[in-house]
Structure 1
Amino acid sequence: MVPQNPPPDDNNFDWTAAEADVQNVVDLDAARTRRNGEPGDTHFEVTLDEAPAPAGMPVEPPPSGAARRVPIVPVGWSTWPNIKHSIRQTLAVFAYRCGFHALRSPWYAILAAFWALVGVFRLAGRQIKWWWVTEQYSLRQAAADANDPAMWLKLHREAKGTRMWRFIVLSAELLTVVIGGPILWATAPWWVLALVVTAVVAFLAHVGRPDDRPIITPATVAGRFRRVNPDIILRAYYAAGLGHPDKPHQQIGFGSTMARDPSGTGSQVSIDLPYGKTFDEAVKARGAIASGLDVAISQVFISRDVSSHRRHTLWVADRDPLSAGAGRTPLLRCKPTDVWQPAPFGLDERGNKVFVDLLWNSILIGAQPRQGKTFAARLLALYAALDPYVKLTVLDGGGKPDWRKFALVADRCAFGLAMTRDGDPAEIVLEALREIKADVQDRYERLSKLPVDVCPEGKLTREIARNPKYKMPVRLVFLDEFQEYFDLGDISKEIASLLVYLVKVAPAAGVGFVDATQRPSGIGSGQVAQQFVSFRDNHQVRFSLRTGSWQVSDLVLGSGAYSEGHDSSTLLPSYKGVGILRGASDATPTVRTYLADADDAEKILIAARALREAAGTLTGMAAGEDVTRIARDVLADVRSVIERSETGAQWEEIASRLAERLPEAYADTTAESISAQVRAFGVRSVDVKRNGKALKGAKTDDIDAAIGRRKAA
């Protein structure tokens, strides 16, 4: 709260004037010395304001253009759409306040009448005291106590004269009310009487009402906030070890004036660290800076300035910006989406919208249980579902209800690990991953053969993905609780091998992965445990909700995140759906994800199925197809076990790999039997060198040619 008695002028230091005086290297004590001619001591204002008001020049967004000019017209009024938006916001607030007070107006009238009645007696008492000159009583009593009869008589005579004059005034006032009131009542129109009565009642209610008993309840309440000024910022940065006030080349400078941010939710300023100090050091010291500012760490945010690595923007929120949710997902409009555009994910700490690219990326989501991990992954899956040209695979190792409705749109889906009517979920997962691997390998081959005018860079394009003749739609695979698939015994070996291969290779072919786990530290032992780590570490985008320690946070966000100041273990348990997003952009924001509960998800998925039916893109399990493995496809199976870098494989290698990766179909196969089966399709048996030893086998090109002939037949 602002103090009633303002502090001395030295404590209300004019920062704008001081900035011109001290230029970029700021020493507030020296500035006060030059200004006041006497040594000044640093002051620290920590009072609370009741109604923060936006003021000053905003720091974000920075001035644009070569001349670093601030726009003449504010952004909010620069274009007609922005003007309309501002007007709509103003009218919406005005309408809300009108409705709020209109509903309570009868109660306001009752309170006003009651306090007006009290005000009549209070006003009468005040006027009687005024008439009787009660304020002089203490002076006459002092004269009597001092045994000064002359002064007492003088005061008494003045009191008598004043009382007579005031009596005349009060008599005239009473006559005006007694005579003028009935005349006004008889002659004045009704609207004049209404105005007079309203004014009189309001005046008397104001007189009768105690200061702490307001009649009108405010429709909006401005919260209290910690005032931040340059002195406090200097204290915080010096305490954090980012500079030294007494060393000329170790002083903190300011690149802008201290100002309220455009949204009016915090204070911000551009900070120039001493030469040699870096933005990364400021990020690491965020907790110490928060302590120096005497606020919670969740209120302090540091963003990079592209003009210099020692400069950054410090934003201190008035209150915890992460405690308020981002609201419902915009996907509830159920409009078609385009996976080639970023997916709306939530709001950052400053209320800016955050988007995530699903294409060309592998996304890892990690957290403790019940922190919103599944909801975050499902939010991205719902966006993909509303694009009817995206082929979805949903695999949930936990078997939770959250993903069940995706059976409406998913080409393949498996929930949990218990046997179902659709078969063994583990087998479905294995078959789905095998099919995806074969598709990825086939895509690379076909993309390389497309003409340059169709495929300019040898990569999947939107036109190719949406053209049915190419059969290369964007595919997105969502794995929740994927750690369960690494702990299934022998079958986990092939699943782990497939996952590692796909997370490394598939995104460039238009097959993206979104993977969530509550066990980022790993599971199992031996080769499977190593493959788990390899799978986890090959995700480009990381989103970590609350974790139990900084070590676990580093496993989710990637090595080095903690040293850069990013630690999801510092997030409060009450932050549901709040996490740190790393790798999606140059910034690493703390994101409040949009909410899509079970009912929202069902509504969106029903709409998504309708879009796919209209586009004719419903496939796999969602279309009622039986996707279980019925018969062996020898050519495809042999091709799937030959790695992309290999030009061929020996028959013994092929038989061994098939027995290891597809034991249910090739457990007893031999080099001779697999050779005979493959040669039946016209594939030659030729010498293949391996480790300096040449044995009979098959060339990759021959197998691909046989597959091509079969497709053309």
Structure 2
Amino acid sequence: MTHHQDDPNHEDEDRTTPSAREGKDADVVHLDVARAGRQPQRPDADRQDSDDRTADGPVLGGEAVRVDRPGPTGGDWRTALEAKARSRQPIVPLWLRSRTEAVETLKWVALHYLHVAGYQVVRLPLYGGRLTARAPRGLLRLVGGVVKWTFDLEGEPVRLAAVQKADPEVYLKLSRQRDSRVRLRVLISSAALVTLLVVCLMMAEQATTAQWAALAVAVAALGILGKPADRPLIDRAVVPSTVEKLTSDIVVRALTVLGIGGINQAMAKNPKDAIRFVAPITRDGPGWRADIDLPYGVTVADVMDKRDRMASALRRPLGCIWPEGDSSVHEGRLILWVGDKDLSKTVVKSPLVKAASHDVFKGIPFGCDPRGRAIVVPVIEQNILIGSQPGQGKTASVRVLASAVALDPSAELWIHELKGTGDLDPHEQNCHRYVSGIEDEAIAYAADSLALLRKEVMRRAASLKALPADLCPDKKVTRQIADRRSLGLHPLVAVFDECQNLFAHPDFGAKAGEDAEFVIKLGRALGVVLVLATQRPDKDSLPTGISANVTIRFCLRVAGQLENDMILGTSAYKNGIRATVFQPKVDAGIGYLLGATPMPKVVRTAYLDTPATQRIAKRAHALRASAGLLGGHALGETPEHVTPTFDLLADILAVVPPSEAKVWNEVIVDRLAELRPEIYGAWAGLEGGAKTAQLTTALKPYGIKTIQVWGTSEGGGKGANRIGVARDDITTAITHRDRGQAS
């Protein structure tokens, strides 16, 4: 035997042909073990030269190393099983896991079949008439069929064919067969006819009711027998939907026409597996649901950005197409839901309309998602921010929240409607503090409320800390603690509608923003909840300290990415959560809800019109009055003032003597800060043009315009031309104001 130990070119030949060996050199080698041992791991593999590679991979010790190395043949059975079953289907259907959804589903099924039964019962006289009209035709069909069967007329064409072929043998055979059949069938028909006559005679002797019943059965049987083929007897109680069934081919077609490069490239390379369906397409509520794994590198946000194109590809209204992601799996898992009905045409009825009371600790029924599932917004330990363009349903959403809080007599309700339209006036009778208006007095009242809330948070923190551990182990407000009214730890919900008018106010905005941020950060666990609604989400109207710390966000239609992220949070637009997709006016009341559910959801809020809100408010008022829990504004008590009252014009005259006809804005601001630091101190802290602009903005409501003023700074120096105010303009404005108040 020739050995090739020194010749590497014969290595594989030596290993793969062990049968060629002889004697003690021959042995049996397990191929998998041998292959695994051919390329041992090297601890210094990372230090190999990058150029030391072959076409098959890196080279170690003169041998190519495979990146994906084969594993042992007898692997762990659990690993193999987990690899095959990464996602188990739920044993209990999803709709049965939620009590609310199960009740709604069963209710829908019961109402559906009750409707069908009622529809058919009402039309029984119509069906009876149809049967009576068709009975003669049925009788003719019956008689004709009996005669045809008795005399074997169905075989007549065959016998005639035998005659035409002049085949006597076949004809005689068929005739003898026909004669035997007719003799037997005549006997059977005669017996049946005699039996029928006997039954008729017997029925003639029965009561009239039995006769009519027998006649009805006979007419019904003959009517069914005489039914035309193209005219059914019973009308449909429910017209089947004309919506096309969602199939995998339709979904793939829709995804491929979106113009997404990653999908098109994947479809070109591997059209069968580029788009993978991880579960069968099924009915999910009033629509179809498809769970899809998008091609590698394609995210759900890419698809959501093309929602209008997808609606066109699926030939459905835009309000029926609702793609969403499941980031708990991965960013490419798409859940496509295609509804039967446009969400914008769906009216959501609020359960609060008929509710006798409500418990805010159980959340607030806010609306429903596109699949018709009820959405409940938690309130306790939360703060809520609502934003949209004007006319998109923002105040209506606030009305739902306020109505639920009003129906809980243990909850204290403060409402600040800073638009002045009176949209929330029905709940004035239930509020501890209430204001409606856009004037400075209303803004000052709202600023007072935030200052009071700040004090209340500090008081509650001390009270909660003093509670024994057995009563309050988690140091949070619970229903048991809230019911102990003497502790003063009941839920307190403060609503600020059009809050931009408060936070952007030149006099009260800065302090109000600080107080609101303090309450949002610390009041959550103490039962103090802020509900803020705005139609102008920018850094001046909505301080970043507030928007960054709110836990629940609801964004209806907004104009662009900036407004979207101001409400829904940074990178929301980038992640596909885009309230810009909603159509103006058409999708009023529809928005993205973030923080109330595990995943962001599109929600249509329940609609409460003014009469419905008034009925809820009256019911809540009676409930609170019977429990003795009305207070503050609801009882006509004088509100507590925290913000100092001041007269800006009078203060300017106090710091600008008659000897100074014209003064720079920045000089006036510094003097005002010395006069009233608690009011004007923030103004003086501004720098450059911001300080000048602050006074200019504050004087606009009085009709005072700034002018160019030549002067020098307080400490002297070089003169300059800067923006300032004429003292005579201030005195003139005060005169006009006083005359108007006197008249």
Taking structure 1 as the reference length, the TM-score comes to 0.63
Letter matched to residue 130 of structure 2: L
**Could you say which residue in structure 1 is the equivalent of 2:680?**
660
Matched, 1:108 2:124: no
Cα distance, 1:585 vs. partner? 2.8
Distance 1:543 1:467, change over 3 A: same
Taking structure 2 as the reference length, the TM-score comes to 0.61
Letter matched to residue 245 of structure 1: M
Distance 1:511 1:71, change over 3 A: closer
Cα distance, 1:581 vs. partner? 0.9
For 1:219-618, list aligned pairs within 5 A: 219-240=237-258, 241=260, 242-243=262-263, 244-247=266-269, 251-252=273-274, 254=276, 256-261=278-283, 263=284, 265-297=286-318, 298-304=320-326, 306-320=328-342, 323-330=345-352, 332-337=354-359, 339-417=360-438, 424-444=441-461, 465-485=482-502, 490=507, 495=512, 498-499=515-516, 502-503=519-520, 506-507=523-524, 509-517=526-534, 519-521=535-537, 529=540, 539-547=550-558, 552-572=563-583, 573-618=585-630
For 1:51-62, list aligned pairs within 5 A: none
Letter matched to residue 408 of structure 2: D
Aligned equivalents of 2:545, 2:578: Cα separation in 1: 22
Aligned equivalents of 1:533, 1:305: Cα separation in 2: 27
Aligned equivalents of 1:83, 1:584: Cα separation in 2: 21
| Mean CA deviation greater in 561-570 or 250-259 | 250-259
Letter matched to residue 624 of structure 2: R
Cα distance, 1:222 vs. partner? 3.0
Aligned equivalents of 1:566, 1:135: Cα separation in 2: 75
Counterpart of 1:375 in 2: which secondary structure?
helix
Cα distance, 1:382 vs. partner? 1.7
| Mean CA deviation greater in 85-94 or 351-360 | 85-94
Aligned equivalents of 1:323, 1:569: Cα separation in 2: 19
**Could you say which residue in structure 1 is the equivalent of 2:734?**
none
Gaps of 5+ in 1: 1-62, 144-148, 523-527, 634-650, 664-713
Cα distance, 1:353 vs. partner? 2.3
User: Is 1:301–1:314's contact at 8 Å kept on the other side of the alignment?
Assistant: yes
CA offsets 1:4-32 (integer angstroms, 9 cap, x no match): xxxxxxxxxxxxxxxxxxxxxxxxxxxxx
| Mean CA deviation greater in 85-94 or 204-213 | 85-94
CA offsets 1:221-243 (integer angstroms, 9 cap, x no match): 33132222223333333444343
Aligned equivalents of 1:434, 1:441: Cα separation in 2: 11
| Mean CA deviation greater in 404-413 or 88-97 | 88-97
User: Is 2:131–2:223's contact at 8 Å kept on the other side of the alignment?
Assistant: yes
User: Is 1:411–1:618's contact at 8 Å kept on the other side of the alignment?
Assistant: yes
Distance 1:123 1:462, change over 3 A: closer
User: Is 1:278–1:309's contact at 8 Å kept on the other side of the alignment?
Assistant: yes
CA offsets 1:384-416 (integer angstroms, 9 cap, x no match): 222223221101123334311212211100122
Counterpart of 1:592 in 2: which secondary structure?
strand
**Could you say which residue in structure 1 is the equivalent of 2:38?**
none
Letter matched to residue 583 of structure 1: G
Counterpart of 1:333 in 2: which secondary structure?
coil
CA offsets 1:158-187 (integer angstroms, 9 cap, x no match): 9x9999999999999998998665543221
Distance 1:292 1:164, change over 3 A: farther
User: Is 1:389–1:617's contact at 8 Å kept on the other side of the alignment?
Assistant: yes
Aligned equivalents of 1:79, 1:560: Cα separation in 2: 31
Letter matched to residue 440 of structure 1: V
Distance 1:287 1:631, change over 3 A: closer
1:184 aligned to which of 191, 199, 207: 199
| Mean CA deviation greater in 249-258 or 95-104 | 249-258
Distance 1:659 1:265, change over 3 A: closer
| Mean CA deviation greater in 444-453 or 609-618 | 444-453
Aligned equivalents of 1:394, 1:468: Cα separation in 2: 21
Letter matched to residue 620 of structure 1: G
User: Is 1:299–1:318's contact at 8 Å kept on the other side of the alignment?
Assistant: no
**Could you say which residue in structure 1 is the equivalent of 2:656?**
none
Letter matched to residue 442 of structure 2: P
Aligned equivalents of 2:600, 2:164: Cα separation in 1: 83
Aligned equivalents of 2:234, 2:254: Cα separation in 1: 41
Cα distance, 1:335 vs. partner? 2.5
Letter matched to residue 272 of structure 1: D
CA offsets 1:567-593 (integer angstroms, 9 cap, x no match): 334335444533221232331111122
Letter matched to residue 599 of structure 2: A
User: Is 1:250–1:274's contact at 8 Å kept on the other side of the alignment?
Assistant: no
Cα distance, 1:109 vs. partner? 1.5
User: Is 2:285–2:371's contact at 8 Å kept on the other side of the alignment?
Assistant: no
Q: Which has the larger radius of gyration?
A: 2
Paired residues in the alignment total: 564
Cα distance, 1:501 vs. partner? 5.3
Cα distance, 1:434 vs. partner? 2.7
Cα distance, 1:83 vs. partner? 10
Letter matched to residue 112 of structure 1: L
Aligned equivalents of 1:501, 1:76: Cα separation in 2: 41
| Mean CA deviation greater in 217-226 or 198-207 | 198-207
Aligned equivalents of 1:78, 1:472: Cα separation in 2: 34
Aligned equivalents of 1:75, 1:486: Cα separation in 2: 44
